[in-house]
Amino acid sequence: MNVTKTPGGADFIEMTPEEYAEYVERQVQRALGMSSTEFRRAYLAGELDEANPSVSELVGLLRIGQNGQASEA
């Protein structure tokens, strides 16, 4: 992970794809108590409540990925 500052002073964090996958895994475990693989499967199967803010946030993490690419987590 590489942390630098923007000209405005905000942190800019760059992660390798592996670091980002680990980050997503930790976030899914913390929020829902399941693996990111199980989360992805359950979401795609329509088994999760999209009104749950945690679900929406995690879907965003999976869609954002690193450098604008979809996460493999």
pTM summary value: 0.75
Q: Nearest CA to 2 among 19, 20, 14?
A: 14
**Domain boundaries along the sequence of the chain:** 15-73
pLDDT value at position 53?
A: 95
pLDDT digits (tens, 9 = 90+) for 5-14: 999 999 988 8
Give the mean pLDDT of 64-70.
Answer: 58
pLDDT value at position 72?
A: 59
DSSP string of 2-70, one letter each residue: EEEE-TTS-EEEE--HHHHHHHHHHHHHHHHSS-HHHHHHHHHTT-S-TTSHHHHHHHHHHHH-STTSP
CA distance 50 to 12: 29
SS3 71: coil
pLDDT digits (tens, 9 = 90+) for 26-58: 999 999 999 999 999 999 899 999 899 999 999
